[in-house]
A and B are shown apart, each in its own frame.
Chain A
């Protein structure tokens, strides 16, 4: 480890590793710090991604693919279900291996990686701009200088707050999540199941994502507003007892997902935020792996370019490029989420009934959202913007 780098990345999840990779590939000296002792563990994720998303960054490899999925099944509160048409395939990942591979890609570009390295504050210059980090590396306090700090420190991000960026997620938008990986169950390895309704997960959804060999990630997220009344773990325990009473529980984890619009500010005082830290999550699905990696890629490229040109005022280009690439889509998805979050169980049941009446070629995700929002014409435009079908 050196005393100074061009870029320090805080957090070695998919967004952090991708930021480190693209910053290093574009000529910056990069240090990535991970607070846990392992990259990729513990996993806090349902682990589903699309093929189209993943291949932008890494070729699919059986060692980090638990299951290849070809179908979605959306289950209404009354148990009826609809299987929309999908164009491509998706994967349920082994994140602990996937994240490791992404960190290796960063290392192969020259980035240094240190684990069990907890960043507890920023170093600041006389102008109050970030000039490095204060970290506890294997229990020793160290100060490391840099030109740019990339905060990839997840839902619990504090790097942004230290730079003056408001990253607090409103409790209406935070999804409180619990997941168990369970085994000894009968699930279809090619289907992602989504359950909706007040009984399973009010203001969110419950997922059953197959991981092969009679194993699945079963988890749910519900709005913190709803979790005031009953916690995520209680909802999950009830569902598993009812649906998979004899399952063996291999892991159980908690988590939070910021299903909000992207933070208004992603760049300030030489700090850039990527991934969950900047709320780069699809607010409808809660998916954040690929969008975080896209944020990381843009941030890494922009940081390296600004350093090369010796003009850190260029960092703000990252916000513009993110907005153009995905930020605008997430704003539209946020509006859709707001429109559907309050639907009653009866409404969800009738949407399912209507969706089943659609001709098969129109039974797409876009088609189902159109069905759901048919009486809100302004929303149909939004659906048309984000679903090509």
Chain B
């Protein structure tokens, strides 16, 4: 089965970088730096545990995928940044 596209959206400018989402992620699919949060698309299975865990409603589930959302958000910028480290 083809891997589903990313449905987890990081709302820009809201994250407190607390790491609660990382702690529940079973796929090690979230990269958290001092002030950057990014979803690693290759690993994310859209299970939504991070969305439920987020104390501040920063993460959102979008069934239709997030590719149509604005590109200048933390999720996309840092996704590339995080992957550049690997």
A253: interface (CB < 8 Å): yes
Q: A161-B28, A178-B55, A231-B55 are in contact. Are A255 and B20 (CB under 8 A)?
A: yes
Residues of B within 8 A of A168 (CB): 23-26
A120: interface (CB < 8 Å): yes
A54: interface (CB < 8 Å): no
A233 to B54, CA, bound (A): 9
The residue in chain B whose Cβ has the minimal distance to the Cβ of A35 is: B34
Residues of B within 8 A of A170 (CB): 24
Inter-chain contact A255/B18, CB cutoff 8 Å: yes
Inter-chain contact A256/B34, CB cutoff 8 Å: no
Q: How many residues of B contact A (CB 8 A)?
A: 25
Inter-chain contact A228/B52, CB cutoff 8 Å: yes
A38 to B85, CA, bound (A): 23
Determine how close the nearest CB of chain B comes to the CB of A215; give it in whole angstroms.
20
Inter-chain contact A256/B49, CB cutoff 8 Å: no
Q: A36-B34, A37-B34, A168-B24 are in contact. Are A256 and B19 (CB under 8 A)?
A: yes
A232 to B53, CA, bound (A): 9
Partner of A224, one of B19, B32, B33, B49: B49
Interface residues of A in 107-136 (CB under 8 A from B): 116, 118, 120-121, 134, 136
Q: How many residues of A contact B (CB 8 A)?
A: 40
A155: interface (CB < 8 Å): yes
Residues of A within 8 A of B23 (CB): 155-157, 167-169, 174, 256, 258
Interface residues of A in 135-169 (CB under 8 A from B): 136, 141, 154-158, 161, 167-169
- Enumerate chain A interface residues (CB-CB to B < 8 A): 35-37, 42, 44, 116, 118, 120-121, 134, 136, 141, 154-158, 161, 167-171, 174, 176-178, 224-225, 227-228, 231-234, 253-256, 258
16 CB < 8 A contacts A-B: A35-B33, A37-B34, A118-B34, A134-B85, A141-B85, A155-B18, A155-B19, A156-B19, A156-B20, A156-B30, A171-B52, A176-B20, A224-B53, A231-B54, A233-B56, A254-B56
Supply 10 further A-B pairs (C-beta < 8 A) apart from A224-B53, A231-B55.
A35-B33, A118-B33, A156-B32, A168-B25, A174-B20, A227-B53, A232-B55, A253-B16, A255-B19, A258-B23
The 8 closest A-B pairs by CB, nearest first: A156-B19, A256-B20, A156-B22, A232-B55, A254-B55, A254-B18, A254-B16, A155-B23
